[in-house]
Every structure is written in C-alpha cells, then in structure tokens.
Amino acid sequence: MNRRHFLRATGLGTAGSMLAVTGCRDSLDANSTASPPPGYRRRDPQQTGATREVHLVAEEGEVEVATGKIYRTWLYNGQFPGPEIRLQEGERLRVTLENQLPEGTTIHWHGLPVPNAMDGVPGLTQQPVMPGTTFTYDFVADPAGSYLYHSHVGLQIDRGLVAPLVVEEKQPHVSYDRDYSLVLDDYLPNTPEPLQASGGMMRRGRRGMMGPGMMQGQTPPYEGLLINGKLPNDPAVFETKRGEQVRLRLMNPSGATTFRVAVGGHRMLVTHTDGQPIEPVTVDALHIGMGERYDVVLAAQNPGVWPIMAAPLEVQAPPAEAVLRYTDVAATQAPPEAVPEGIRGGRVLELSDLQALERPAERTPTRTFDLTLSGGMMSAAWTIVGQAYPDADPLEILEGDVIRLRMVNHSMMLHPMHLHGHFFQVGGALKDTVIVPPHMGRVTVDFLADNPGRWFFHCHNIYHLEAGMAREIRYV
C-alpha cells in the first residue's frame, strides 16, 4: 500500500470538523451485525518486496555503558539497545524470538500496525514465550516509518529489551545524506520494581534531587540517561561533513523519562512524527515522551564538535548526551560548557505544528469515549475512568467505526498514551503516541477501526502501565 492509499484508508478528517456523539460509554451489542460504512476498507498490507529473516535471542549479558562501567542486564543478541532492524516498506519480516531469559517474554512492534496475533501483548494477543522456547513473528512492514521493538512483559523495558525498527520509504519527501537512529533511554542498573504510592509528599528522584513533577508521583532510582546505550562521559558519536543533510531518528523507548532534545549549533527540521511524514517545521527543541518518535534533519553548515542533548522534563538530572562531529575538523569532543540553545530556550515544537503531509479523508466519529486519567496520590494505582487494568472494562467498538477518545489528565504527571494496531489523528497529524499534559491537560484523538482484534491502549510510562493505566480496545 503506498502512502497516498494509506492516508485515504485511514478515513479520518480534521479533529475540528468532527462531532461527538452522546451516550458515548454505553456498551455495544456484541451480537451486532452492522455493516462497515460505504468506502471503508480493512487494513490489509500487501507484500511488495523480499522476505527478511531475523533471529533474536533474548538473553542475560553485560554491556559497557561508559568506560569501565559494566551494565549487567537483559539483551537482544548481546546488544543494548538491541540490533537495529532496517528494511524497505512492503518487505515481509519474519523474526524468530528465542528466549534464554529466566522468565517469559514477548516482542511488541511499537507503532507498526501489524496483524493482531503478531502484536506481542501477553494475555491479550499471545501467551508469553517461555524460557527455552521460540516464537516467530511474521508480518508485512507497512507503512514506512521510524518504529521500535521491545518487550511487553511487566517492567522488562527497563531491563534493556528495546531496539529500533526502521521501515525505509521508497520515496522520501525530504533529502538526506546520512541516516542515524538515536535511542533515548534511562539507566537503571538494578532490577526494576513497581513504584509505591507517594502519599502526596515530595519524593527523592534521580541522584537524590527534588524535581518538578515529583509531587504525588515517583520515578525509579535511575543513575543516568543514555543515548544509544552510552552515558554522557562516553558518548555515542555521529559523524558528518559540511554541506550534508543529516537525518536523526529520535526514539524514546525509556521506562519513565520524557526528554527535551536539542542539538548544539544547529536548528532541527522536523519531518516525521511517530514515523508519519509531516510538513517540515524548523525548531530549536522538541519534547519526546515515552514511546514517541520524531525524525529531524540537520543542515550541516557549522563545522565543529557539537552536543546532542536530551534533558529530562519531569525531574532535575543531568541530560543524556551524544556528539555530532564534523570529520573535517581536528577536535573530537564538544567543549564541556557547551549547551544547545534549545535546552535553554528557543522555539519548541508544539503539537499544533504537526501537519500531515497529506490530509486524510474526512469522516465524522461514530463512537466517543471520555477517558479520565488519574493516579499518583494516596494509591499506587494509575487508572482510566477509575479502573485499573486488568480489572477494567474493555472499550468495545465495531469494525468500520470512527472512534474518538477524549482524554483529560487529573494527575500531576504527564501521560504518553499509546494505541496499538492503529494510527490516530490528533490535530493535523497522524500519530500512535501522544502526551496528555498534567494538571487537567486535555487531548482528543480519532482513529478508524480498520484492524480487527483485541488491542492495547495505555500509558507508555511502564510504571503507570504496570499499575493499571491501560484498557483493551475490543472489536465486537
């Protein structure tokens, strides 16, 4: 399916033109025989390229996150992050997961609308792959975009089971000479554990420092922030030379960190959000929540060695750092005092800046759900409309429906809400993950029910997810 056909098939219109329906939380009739609306087409990507075979071993191992600093954790093929899988849109991907861990695991293909049985959610789309066994994931890689793959069992993301998945466009709408994936992560050297209720008191965050957003919430005892598995004192290096266009695929599979990202000496041309192309917009910085991805292009016209910096939003802690190095200069390290302008100020990307390259067809919602996001006070639970998954009612929908989710955040922490199996329209863009701001922040998204199955919708802060902030979206 080419991109124009994909956008038409999503069947969504501008959010401002859509009308909500009343009685939005009434249960649907499970025996309904309603036919999909005229013009509807089920998502059914066709293989147009080769079949790629990949073997992944989930195993315990050690990696070096800085000189002399060993991280014993769980890995894909002995790497952290795991090996990048890169293929062309329309190619078929067959991944055999071999589990050599002491407990069950799965792989979720984050952002890619795969068939339901391939989605990797334990207890919903498959049973965990148990130690000593294998499971093969098989799907067509479509549409193109920057995606992730990661475990979807418990808190295993914070053990290191994360990696980039890149589906390359056949016809990119921007030109570039170099293409790098940057995986932003938090560093937890110990076994991740569920967080306790904060009791409405300030808690100590990373490195024992109090930080904004810590009231009535808590973060794990991270010991640093990473870019491509490296701490700031031994940063990953990305090379370029003057006159090139450099594409950076910014990906955030972290357990509980939202970042503000900027590059020293360069503005960023934002070209994609969650893998989907947008009208390019130039900014000094952007915020990227857990599960989100942004592609940016840098015009390499400022020779030197420059920091790529990702500072946490909700706590006070040293930022993650990497290095952009021009090969035609002698220096190899950025000056220690160098801080990108976008970290201190400048133009920050706004949700309203995101405009899809091609506007989807307009349709009016046929089903609306009002979803209140709460938690982080006297209870350890994080809830949607007062219910904590798995003891939560599914959101029942019909194939062909246009679904509206109206979210309001009653908590004091932000929530990056992620929908499996679909893209949704938010404002003028197509995404699969969106940040709902704290303190009564509101976000409305719409999606076409074109991929039948049982799908997860949840906060991508894995500690909020583990504490219940999730729902099943069930086709009936």
Q: Does residue 9 have a pLDDT over 60?
A: no
Query: According to the model, what pLDDT value does residue 3 have?
Result: 46
Query: According to the model, what pLDDT value does residue 342 have?
Result: 97
Give the separation between CA 429 and CA 433, rounded to whole angstroms: 11
Coil, helix or strand at residue 469: coil
Q: Does residue 34 have a pLDDT over 80?
A: no
| H or E element in which residue 3 lies | helix 3-10
Give the separation between CA 54 and CA 67, rounded to whole angstroms: 31
| Rounded mean pLDDT, 99-106 | 98
* Structure confidence by residue, pLDDT tens digits, 274-293: 999 999 999 999 999 999 99
Higher pLDDT, 36 or 467: 467
| Rounded mean pLDDT, 4-16 | 46
The secondary structure of residue 36, as a DSSP letter, is P
Least confident of 47-56, 174-183, 258-267, 324-333: 324-333
* Structure confidence by residue, pLDDT tens digits, 455-470: 999 999 999 999 999 9
Phi and psi, residue 353, nearest 5°: -75, -20
| Rounded mean pLDDT, 381-409 | 97
Least confident of 12-26, 332-346, 426-440: 12-26
The CATH code belonging to domain 51-170 is 2.60.40.420
Give the separation between CA 164 and CA 463, rounded to whole angstroms: 21
| Rounded mean pLDDT, 366-378 | 92
CA distances from 149 to 107, 110, 135, 465 (A): 6, 6, 15, 17
The residue type found at 358 is: E
**CATH fold match for the domains 51-170 and 182-353:** yes
The CATH code belonging to domain 182-353 is 2.60.40.420
| Rounded mean pLDDT, 241-252 | 98
Q: Does residue 205 have a pLDDT over 70?
A: no
Spatial CA neighbour of 294 closest among 432, 189, 436, 452:
432
Give the separation between CA 40 and CA 190, rounded to whole angstroms: 49
Q: Does residue 154 have a pLDDT over 70?
A: yes
Coil, helix or strand at residue 17: helix
Model confidence band, residue 213 (pLDDT cutoffs 50, 70, 90): very low
Query: According to the model, what pLDDT value does residue 22 have?
Result: 32
Q: Does residue 358 have a pLDDT over 60?
A: yes
pTM: 0.91
Query: Which residues neighbour 172 within 8 Å (Cβ) at sequence distance 6 or greater?
Result: none
The two tokens of residue 198 are: 């904060």
Spatial CA neighbour of 278 closest among 262, 261, 295, 298:
295
Percent of the chain scoring above 90 in pLDDT: 81
The two tokens of residue 131 are: 């130690």
Q: Does residue 5 have a pLDDT over 70?
A: no
| Rounded mean pLDDT, 230-238 | 96
Q: Does residue 7 have a pLDDT over 90?
A: no
Give the separation between CA 181 and CA 272, rounded to whole angstroms: 13
Higher pLDDT, 18 or 106: 106
Query: According to the model, what pLDDT value does residue 346 have?
Result: 96
Counting every residue, how long is the chain?
476
Mean pLDDT value across the chain: 89
Least confident of 246-260, 276-290, 305-319, 351-365: 351-365
* Structure confidence by residue, pLDDT tens digits, 292-348: 999 999 999 999 999 999 999 999 999 999 999 999 888 778 887 789 999 999 999
Model confidence band, residue 6 (pLDDT cutoffs 50, 70, 90): very low
| Rounded mean pLDDT, 373-401 | 94
Query: According to the model, what pLDDT value does residue 198 have?
Result: 56
Number of H helices, E strands in the chain: 3, 30
Query: According to the model, what pLDDT value does residue 19 have?
Result: 27
Coil, helix or strand at residue 250: strand
The CATH code belonging to domain 3-37+363-475 is 2.60.40.420
Phi and psi, residue 292, nearest 5°: -80, 160
**How far does Cα 73 stand from its chain's mean position?**
22
Query: According to the model, what pLDDT value does residue 377 have?
Result: 74
**Which residues are 55's β-sheet partners?**
96
Q: Does residue 18 have a pLDDT over 50?
A: no
Give the separation between CA 450 and CA 419, rounded to whole angstroms: 13
- Cβ neighbours, 10 Å, residue 129: 22
> Residue 353: how many CA atoms within 13 Å on its side-chain side?
17
Query: What residue spans define the domains of the chain?
Result: 3-37+363-475, 51-170, 182-353
- Cβ neighbours, 10 Å, residue 274: 27
Spatial CA neighbour of 165 closest among 187, 142, 133:
142
Query: Which residues neighbour 212 within 8 Å (Cβ) at sequence distance 6 or greater?
Result: 314, 315, 316
How is the chain split among helix, strand and coil, in percent rounded to 5? 5, 40, 50
Percent of the chain scoring above 70 in pLDDT: 88
Q: What are the DSSP E strand ranges found in 292-387? A: 293-299, 305-312, 320-326, 367-375, 382-384
Phi and psi, residue 159, nearest 5°: -100, -5
